[in-house]
Structure 1
């Protein structure tokens, strides 16, 4: 106690200021994680869209080739043997190309491979969006914790600092989920 019945809170205020500094650091880390996750989600969304567009183009080409092969197969055959052989070779080439469009493991550009790649990009996008949300919830908890801890200095009510610390722990848990297991819970 100092003169005139005034209690010296400087030691307690230093601890609260340190708490606020730690909360601010956690907030900065959570915001960085959120921005990174958001950027990753946007990139994977574009990748998935591009892959599905390529998938659609392959489907259209495949359908066109199959239709041409089927039409040629039922068309009247020319009388000359060499023209009949040339038509048969063309039909076989169209059918082979249509089959290659269905699955082309060597390039990863068959419809099956494109669909798998697009689905993988969508899974990454969804995980990144979940992480983004967890980081954002953690950031909100840190921001409120900073306000509450700051209020404890102004009001001299130590319980507010404790509330800020508890809310900071919630923020750490949410940001940790964003990093380690973003799809574990859905808020």
Structure 2
């Protein structure tokens, strides 16, 4: 009579392979999360810089607008035609500069353009932040799947291995959401 075949070694190899695959996926999710985190930080800095530039343009424009208005009041009392001409040209120059500060499509540095660029950077920051949040959950799922699968080897409970597979599949699905639809779900 022959001894019953020993499937424990074969099953352990399969679970070991499962753990290796889960560890690989964990590494990918950690890389994705780190990239998303770095991108969120970079976009946050970019948005902050653009808003600071926007504020500087606002201050400069307000200063010039105020100076032009004050000179217009002063111009009413000037009788010398040459002085009136110089003051009028200065007022028009300041008003043109104020208009340029409001919108400067050639350089993309007017207040209107800066606001649009800052809002776009904020939107990208928010997407990257959402992606990072999802990758954090994915990493947790893979870590739990690895622990549960490891316990399957120790205990011999096949149900734990299947639980590890299920958590791994859930992690893969959420990793796809993090990459392709980061603002979906939560």
TM-score bracket, normalised by the shorter chain, equals: over 0.9
Counterpart position of 2:35: 36
* TM-score under structure 1 length normalisation: 0.95
Q: 1:174 Cα shift?
A: 1.2
Contact 1:51 1:118 in 2 (8 A): yes
Counterpart position of 1:49: 48
User: Aligned Cα RMSD in Å?
Assistant: 1.4
Counterpart position of 1:92: 92
Question: Matched residues in 2 for 1:66 and 1:177: separation?
Answer: 50
Q: 1:166 Cα shift?
A: 0.1
Q: Does 1:106 align with 2:106?
A: yes
Counterpart position of 2:21: 22
Q: 1:77 Cα shift?
A: 3.3
Deviations 1:99-144 (A, max 9, x none): 1000000001000000000000000000000000111110000000
Query: Unaligned 5+ residue runs, structure 2?
Result: none
Q: How do 1:83-162 residues align onto structure 2 when only pairs under 5 Å count?
A: 83-162=83-162
State the SS of the aligned residue for 1:179.
helix
State the SS of the aligned residue for 2:185.
coil
Question: How many residues align structurally?
Answer: 184
Question: Matched residues in 2 for 1:138 and 1:26: separation?
Answer: 9
State the SS of the aligned residue for 2:106.
coil
Displaced runs of 4+ in structure 1, greater than 4 A? Answer: 5-8
Question: Matched residues in 1 for 2:112 and 2:106: separation?
Answer: 12
Counterpart position of 1:79: 79
Question: Matched residues in 1 for 2:40 and 2:7: separation?
Answer: 51
Deviations 1:66-107 (A, max 9, x none): 001111111243221011000000000000000100000000
